[in-house]
Structure 1
């Protein structure tokens, strides 16, 4: 392979590649960078000068945290294909980091909130002991909400489920022969959260338990048939909304005229967008745009949901919807319809009407909730 090429000793090659002999021996043992020749008597390693570029590439990929199988694959590819593979790897790293970042933010916010509540209790106790009159300036918030689901103009049946209650808002988009039952079962499994305010410090545990329960419910509802569902839900805690999200249904926040997407789609196309392998324009018409990477499908190991905690402000308007809306109605149109509607019921009707006016190719479900001051 390297016939006629002047060989470098491991020491000379280490100096030229700026790698230590120890690293080179490790790469040899791992099968990532084999020496060009090994002396049969002494076992001494010799390298060819044209291996320098590969040595540096292996070192850089190790620094990126790429697994060994990925490094082997990259090293075997042509430069342009290797570049695409590295971009794809980094896109996956960023997506996974974003999930961990969101979870870290959730936990930090949760603990901050718990600390605030403990501080308030201590202040109340001191206030009681000093006979100070109770505070009158605390703003109490509540939700005003509406939910609606529609078959659309093409599908023979509706496999979506939309629910809105005092504390729980949820949308599920079922698929497969038992998709309607799967989506309904997932939402029903969460309805127990609608009955009472979550105790302080338990929101995260409640949402985790709810996903476990929803997984079992979907498996029972499917009855062995191939079926599954997305699940996007918000749980009201009295001042905050805790999100649990799996799949490609979405949650949006309309605040001060701006529309913000709260969720991240768990789809093949979204992963390709994150990795830089697709443009937003290409994603719109991609044949795999509805292929899910995460869903509740009744398997023994439930998917890891996205969890977030949102501070609510008076005047906020939240939207939960299935992809029957977002696939045909662009975000700027959704924003204008949400902003123009006088109340949640008018908002869900106008959004579903817009999806059907655009052809209604899929079931469409919307839940809209306004954060308002209690009367």
Structure 2
């Protein structure tokens, strides 16, 4: 068999001799023969396909550990699945960085704010991607409902709806109810606080998440720790904790903070958009291409959380987004008791049909209960309006 020198093999595979020596040391691409006297490496032509695959995976940015898994696959289909999963993770990480970059740009540009351009001016309209035209200051018209459902013995959800703060928390574990109430309570001060310091919005949100994490620990008085958890009924197997999805009105934008699998939706122009990403094991498997959306809906581990506020655990990294609302927008924050039994089409239909936020929240709770009400369900509905129509609706809670 004619062997290729390391130089010839490197040129054919489009890899450097230095890279080939590293791959040999790692056991990733071992030469067929090494000269005992000179240490010179020789490769078989049959190794070129694997070497070229390694080269392309490196250009893709895959770490060596991932490349090793791809090369160990028994079939091309298995290798393709590994590459698909890697790229899904890259896209998810990129999306998270893109959201943070968008948050920073929107906040730093501050084009819609009075110091730079008055709301409704051509400059503000252009900055927000809206048609130029008169638009007064905006406000929120809101309502909230929380219900135990038809199966659970108690309600571990907590909700808040105010002129500046909207929030939903879904507690789990034996002390889930105190945990969710504590998380909401830690954020409630934002509703009555003064104007946010310019440029400090990210710090305010991060401080709020850390305060919520401390409050959850103090409310349960238990150990626990960070790690996967579930909101299913298995109190001896899980820590106490809660999800948290909240939106803070800055006067020109809505800042979103999200941890867990409660959700936020936006109804705009008759279309419904999910604006949060579930922090669950099943969702990560969908992101990796290992499950379809249909398979995820009936997966036995669909309630297993990868991120939440846990008793005794550190504050997790929250998803942060900044939304530029428009008059007529309707936002929905809900615990997972609603989307677990109601599809997006049904949620959109109810949100579009009910004129008043309180009626919409009540109808969504009724929708979940009509489907069996297997879990607690909480909804906060907020309409973006001009101040003349922004009379607040008092929060109502049913049990």
Q: TM-score, with normalisation over the residues of structure 2?
A: 0.85
Q: Which range moved further: 261-270 or 358-367?
A: 261-270
Say if 2:221 and 2:311, in contact at 8 Å, map to a contact too.
no
- Counterpart check, 1:64 vs 2:77: no
1:101 to 98, 108, 124: 98
Given that 2:13 and 2:55 are in contact with CA atoms closer than 8 Å, whether structure 1 keeps it comes out as: no
Q: In 2, distance between residues paired with 1:300 and 1:354?
A: 35
* Count of residues in correspondence between the two structures: 356
| Greater shift in the superposed pair: 184-193 or 50-59 | 50-59
Q: CA deviation at 1:302?
A: 2.1
- Which has a greater percent of helix? 1
In 1, the alpha carbon distance for the partners of 2:65 and 2:13 equals 22
1:224 maps to 2:237: no
Residues in 2 aligned to 1:15 and 1:102: alpha-carbon distance in whole angstroms: 41
Q: Distance in 1 between matches of 2:27 and 2:113?
A: 54
* Among candidates 108, 111, 118, match of residue 111 of structure 1: 108
Alignment of 1:214 onto 2:227: no
Deviates more, 1:277-286 or 1:318-327: 277-286
Following TM superposition, by how much is the alpha carbon of 1:18 offset from its aligned partner in structure 2, in angstroms?
2.5
| Superposition deviation, residue 243 in structure 1 | 0.3
After TM superposition, give the deviation of residue 36 of structure 1 in Å. Answer: 1.8
Q: Alignment partner of 2:360: what SS?
A: helix
Contact 1:272 1:278 in 2 (8 A): yes
Gaps of 5+ in 2: 119-133, 224-238, 389-399
Asked if the contact 2:113–2:252 (Cα under 8 Å) also holds between the matched residues in 1, the reply is: no
Correspondence for 1:78: 74
Asked whether the equivalents of residues 66 and 89 of structure 1 are also in contact (C-alpha less than 8 Å), the reply is yes
Work out the CA distance in 2 between the residues paired with 1:234 and 1:151: 23
- Aligned match for 1:142, one of 110, 118, 139: 139
Contact 1:114 1:200 in 2 (8 A): no
Matched, 1:203 2:196: no
Residue 360 of structure 1 is matched in structure 2 by 373
Kept in 1, the 8 Å contact 2:213–2:309? The answer is yes
User: Contact 1:182–1:221 at 8 Å: present in 2 too?
Assistant: yes
Question: By how many angstroms is 1:138 displaced?
Answer: 5.9
Aligned 8 A contact 2:209 2:315 in 1: yes
1:292 aligns with 2:313: no
Deviates more, 1:223-232 or 1:18-27: 18-27
Partner of 1:91: 88
Contact (CA 8 Å) 1:154, 1:362: kept in 2 or not? yes
1:281-332 Cα distance to aligned partner (Å, 9 max, x none): 2121111211112111145532211111111111111100011000101111
Q: Closer, same or farther in 2 for the Cα pair 1:207/1:72, shift >3 Å?
A: same
Distance in 2, matches of 1:222 and 1:85, equals 41
Q: Which residue of 1 aligns with 2:24?
A: 28
Aligned residue for 2:168, secondary structure, equals strand
How far off its partner does 1:22 sit? Answer: 2.6
> What's the secondary structure of 1:329's corresponding residue?
coil
The offset of 1:118, in angstroms, is: 3.6
Is 1:54 aligned to 2:54, yes or no? Answer: no
Aligned-residue Cα RMSD (Å) equals 1.7
Q: CA separation in 2, counterparts of 1:191 and 1:57?
A: 54
Task: Describe how 1:259-274 pairs up with structure 2 within 5 A.
Answer: 259-274=272-287
Cα distance in structure 1, aligned partners of 2:358 and 2:112: 37
Between 1:200-209 and 1:244-253, the stretch displaced more is: 200-209
Among 315, 318, 324, the residue aligned to 1:311:
324
**Among residues 182, 185, 197, which one is paired with 1:185 in the alignment?**
182
Give 1:238's match in structure 2, choosing from 245, 251, 256.
251
Please list every run of 5 or more consecutive structure 1 residues that lacks an aligned counterpart in the other structure. Answer: 122-136
Q: Contact conserved, 1:91 with 1:271, CA < 8 A, in 2?
A: no
Alpha-carbon distance in 2 for matches of 1:138, 1:267: 40
State the partner residue of 1:125: none
CA distance in structure 1 between the aligned counterparts of 2:362 and 2:113, rounded to whole angstroms: 39
Contact 1:246 1:296 in 2 (8 A): yes
Distance of 1:20 and 1:349 partners within structure 2: 65
Q: Describe how 1:120-199 pairs up with structure 2 within 5 A.
A: 120=117, 139-196=136-193, 197-199=195-197
Asked whether the 8 Å contact 2:141–2:385 carries over to 1, the reply is: yes
Distance 2:387 2:155 in 1: 35
Q: Does 1:276 align with 2:289?
A: yes
